Amino acid sequence: MASRWIVWTGLIGLAAAYWLAPALVLWLLPVALPMILAPFLISWTSRKSTGVLMRVPSELHIPKVVEAHDHILARWQAVAEVEAREAQSVRAAPAKLAA
């Protein structure tokens, strides 16, 4: 869990404030509570269904340059797969001849 350090920092900070200056705990809650609830907040905002508010314009509408990149990459991968199959069949051919 990547947000573990955030949670521990919030908990330790809140506990230290309660131990050293209990009157400051209420003042620290607006900072400490989101830190403690970070895993839930991260999980909730990263979902596609609820994360619409957190998206950037390039996630809502894919730029043409990204579409072109994806198209070119798909072509290259198709060529690489064909070449890999051909190389594999060439390697297998001598074994068939020997048998």
pLDDT tens profile 46-87? 777 766 677 778 777 889 999 999 999 999 999 999 998 888
Distances (CA, A) of 67 to 62, 70, 74: 7, 5, 11
pTM above 0.85, yes or no: no
Least confident of 20-29, 42-51, 79-88: 42-51
Residues 6+ apart with CB under 8 A from 51: 45
Spell out the domain ranges in the chain: 1-55, 56-99
41 sits in which H/E element = helix 38-46
Q: SS3 of 37, please?
A: coil
